[in-house]
Amino acid sequence: MEDVYIIGVGMFRFGKYAERTIKDMAAEALDLVLTDAGATTKDIEAAWFSNSFWGINTGQHSIRGQVALAPLGIENVPIMNVENACAGASSAVNGAWMGIKAGAYDVALALGAEKVYNPTDKEAAFEMFISNADVDFVRGLISAFQADAAKKAQEAGAAKEGGGGGGGGGHSPFMDIYAMAARMHMQQYGTTQEQLAVIASKNHKAGALNPLAQYQIAMSVEDVMNDRLVAYPLTRAMCAPIGDGATAALLCSESALKRFPDARPVKVRASVLASGSLQFGPEHELIGKKVSRRAYEMAGLGPEDIDVAEVHDATAFGELLQCEELGFCGEGEGGPFAASGATTIGGKLPVNPSGGLECRGHPIGASGIAQLFELVTQLRGESGPRQVEGARIAMAENGGGFLGAGEAAMAIHILEKV
């Protein structure tokens, strides 16, 4: 089987684009990726299209990829529609990689586009996130999680005017789930709210260096701690924002590289996609540990070989947990690991130099490729002031939805500089 390469990436700055459509955002991402690779639509032999909420927002279900891509000249080729919550875009890349790896195609496109922002009904936008979990199960948990958050916030003296401590409205229900997981980690391992603030501050400083980040404002640890409380221990600055955007990646086989002499290819050492489990407890590993082990085995590498990583930080706690699950530090050591400065640009293992989901933004069906955009840019040495010096091996972890006690889906990619 031939090796697979990413020869082009494309994204524009994520943000709140009330007037933009899925179609025109997809068109911009496609133009950017083709320009980056030195390719045309005629080169594309198959496409995977990621989106989660188009159907909820406008009723466009079923053939979303065909509807978005046919006007752009991508017709008569296989188009696979991917809906896999926050892991949709990375799942699309996995599909494209697998098609090339199997020998079915030489050149394949993965494109994710999403609209989440709703200027007239913000609560409706937040409510959409419920569909990324077992709806019947999770609705019964949210109110209990919010009550526990309010209690813990009061005990910690952390409730702030206008923020409460339990959450209620004004944010995605997933923030209540993340907050509950964070509180459990704090109780078990002694993790602190300040350690979470260190992670968020680090990401805001990196986001301020990224011209494509939705948030480009540096924040100190104190700024993060003093921001509005969403659900204890998470403040607003620790949480990914609502936003819209589109991203794309073009992949090809090794034999097809000669068709694109202007490309700056990056090798895909591993591409792994898996689903979560309803089983959880001390005897069951979380999905991140299981999927990363498969990715390391496929790449013939270990966590000690990773030079830079993008992980799924829908909240600062998400980054902390994944640093543990991916083997960057020991179980329960994510807080001290971050506080040591290890994950900063220039640290032992920079994590989320793009600013992560917390600052780069999180349009659900596009985020996974945005991670790969950052890592490809890093491995090409084109990241400017946020460049990780000497980066040769990069890892992206993209989780999606909730099932049981963890993510419902997860894709991990390991990339290598050519």
- SS3 state of residue 18: coil
Q: Which residues are catalytic?
A: 86, 362
Concatenated DSSP letters of 287-322:
HHHHHHHHHHHHHT--GGG-SEEE---SBHHHHHHH
Facing residues of 371 across strands?
none
Report the C-alpha gap between 92 and 68 in whole angstroms.
15
What would the pLDDT profile of 348-386 be if each residue is shown by its tens digit? 999 999 999 999 999 999 999 999 999 999 999 999 999
**Entry pTM:** 0.94
Report the C-alpha gap between 186 and 136 in whole angstroms.
28
Report the C-alpha gap between 112 and 153 in whole angstroms.
37
pLDDT of residue 144: 72
pLDDT of residue 166: 52
Residue 257 exposure: Cα atoms within 13 Å on the Cβ side: 15
Report the C-alpha gap between 79 and 39 in whole angstroms.
18
Report the C-alpha gap between 285 and 1 in whole angstroms.
31
Tokens (6 digits) for 403: 């099932």
Report the C-alpha gap between 134 and 403 in whole angstroms.
7
Report the C-alpha gap between 22 and 245 in whole angstroms.
8
Q: What is the largest CA-CA distance in the chain?
A: 63
Report the C-alpha gap between 330 and 198 in whole angstroms.
18
Q: Which residues in the chain come in under a pLDDT of 70?
A: 139-140, 142-143, 158-170, 281-283
Domains delineated in the chain: 4-118+243-259 (3.40.47.10), 122-238 (no CATH), 267-417 (3.40.47.10)
pLDDT of residue 98: 98
Q: How many CB atoms lie within 10 A of CB 382?
A: 10
pLDDT of residue 126: 75
pLDDT of residue 162: 41
To which H or E segment does residue 372 belong? helix 367-379
Strands 229-231 and 266-275: unpaired
Backbone angles phi, psi at 258, to 5 degrees: -65, -20
